[in-house]
Amino acid sequence: MELTATSLQVAAILLAVGGLAGSAWWLWPRLSARTWPAVLGRVGVLVGNQVLTLGALALLINNYFGFYGSWDDLLGSGRGAAAPIVADLEQEPPDAPSSARVQVMSSSPVTLSRGGQRYQGGRLEHVVVTGAASTLSAPAYVYLPPQYFDPRYAGTRFPAVLVLTGYPGDARNLITRMNIPATAARSIDRREMAPAILILMRPTLAPPRDTECMDVPDGPQVETFFTKDLREAMAGVFRVGTEPASWGVLGGSTGGYCALKMSMRHPESFGAAASLSGYYRPPADATTGDLFGGSPDLAQENDLMWRLANLPHPPISVLVTSSRKGESNYRTTLDFLAAVRPPMQAASLILPSGGHNFTTWNRELPQALPWIVSRLRLPDEIAATPAPAPGPATSAAPVAPTP
């Protein structure tokens, strides 16, 4: 039974409720004596009920936030759907075409409603991508806008945005919790955003380890996968632009750090980035292990504040978001914005209040997604009306700290 299966959650809830009812009705009266066996029995009943209740809550919370998608993902055994699926790269010819590195698993329409009528707002492809250089493989969801299927644009290569979850995350959250395909379809339909291809993924390619989108010394080469392999593989199957100015990366939390880090370190891969509640220095804890192989130089290179203070600023555009109340990254976001210098350009979206959660990111996404697409190179035939000016909560310059 899968970790996220509804039947497992229902069974856990029934066990928790049944355990409590059975304890109150049958067990507790039989353990009412003032003897050591009875006391130990009552303790056992209390502990058992707590375990059942916490287990049910843990399953519900995991399913709601999408922390782990399978038992193998949770246990780190590497056999689940979130682990590498296409792992036979060594058996392919060295010059295997990039089209062989994307396996389409399924396809479904993205439907919207207008005036009481339902219409198609593009398609969502579930794929598995295998990297030639990194040899990593991971699932992804690819949103294709309606214009992609219009004969008038049969020869057009569309701009692309890589969209990343946080850690550990599940790419399905970008669909079920943030509804990104429908948000993109509505923005395109309203001409708030040019048609673009979106690749929805999570940054965790070697679960359960949090690699922070790093090429870990003697470990998984996640940065190479996202900055090189993914772009090459996608261009072999879908009509995506191949120039850096045609690609952007957007993410939340860990995905936000990855978006900024990968665009700053690899302007030859991404021309724009948007970080929703992201941070600016990678953590070092039990989930990450030693990401830098003991190298202080490599640790500095992945510290975004250190890069701004010590290295040339890349010719990219970035958007960072935070909240004056409820976000721990507010002050560091101000410091980041204040440190940016040309040719790098920075914009900010600062909410009055909002936590580190999907609710906040859903408030930011309708502005962040058109913003990043508007910073990409758009073919003349698909250029839409420019995205609207930032709303009251948005600033193109560092906002002043609140007293």
The pTM score is 0.78
Least confident of 30-39, 68-77, 78-87, 291-300: 78-87
Angstrom CA distances, 277 to 185, 260, 320, 329, stand at 24, 11, 7, 7
Say whether 323 sits in a helix, a strand or coil.
strand
H or E element in which residue 310 lies: helix 304-310
User: What's the chain's average pLDDT?
Assistant: 84
Output the six-digit token pair for 236: 């072999």
Residue found under tokens 């439907």: 111
Q: Tell me how far apart the alpha carbons of residues 103 and 109 are, in angstroms, rounded to a whole number.
A: 18
Closest CA to 356 of 74, 166, 162, 169: 166
Phi, psi of 85 (to 5 degrees): -105, -45
pLDDT at 401: 31
Q: Which two tokens stand for residue 156?
A: 């057009």
Q: Is residue 2 very low, low, confident or very high in pLDDT (cuts 50, 70, 90)? A: low
What value does the mean pLDDT take over residues 2-23? 73
pLDDT for 391: 37
Q: Which residue has the higher pLDDT, 135 or 57?
A: 135
Residue 91 has pLDDT above 70, yes or no: no
Confidence of residue 387 (pLDDT cuts 50, 70, 90): very low
Confidence of residue 250 (pLDDT cuts 50, 70, 90): very high
Residue, of 232 and 8, whose pLDDT is higher: 232
More confident site: 32 or 222 = 222
Which range (13-17, 198-202, 304-308) has the least confidence? Answer: 13-17
* Residue reference for tokens 């632009």: 241
Out of 51-60, 319-328, 391-400, pick the least confident: 391-400
In the numeric block, which tokens belong to residue 144? 């294709």
Among residues 229, 326, 238, 321, the alpha carbon closest in space to that of 273 is found at 321
pLDDT value of position 60:
63
Q: What is the pLDDT of residues 309-344, one digit of tens each?
A: 999 999 999 999 999 999 999 999 999 999 999 999
- Least confident span in 65-79, 128-142, 176-190, 301-315: 65-79
Residue 400 binned pLDDT confidence (cut-offs 50, 70, 90): very low
- Mean pLDDT of the 12-24 span: 78
Q: What is the mean pLDDT of residues 52-72?
A: 63
Q: 60, 84, 77, 80: which is closest to 69 by C-alpha? A: 80
What integer pLDDT is reported at residue 53 of this predicted model? 83
Which structure tokens are listed for 114? Answer: 């207008």
Instruction: Give the Cα-Cα-Cα angle 373, 226, 253 (nearest 5 degrees).
Output: 70
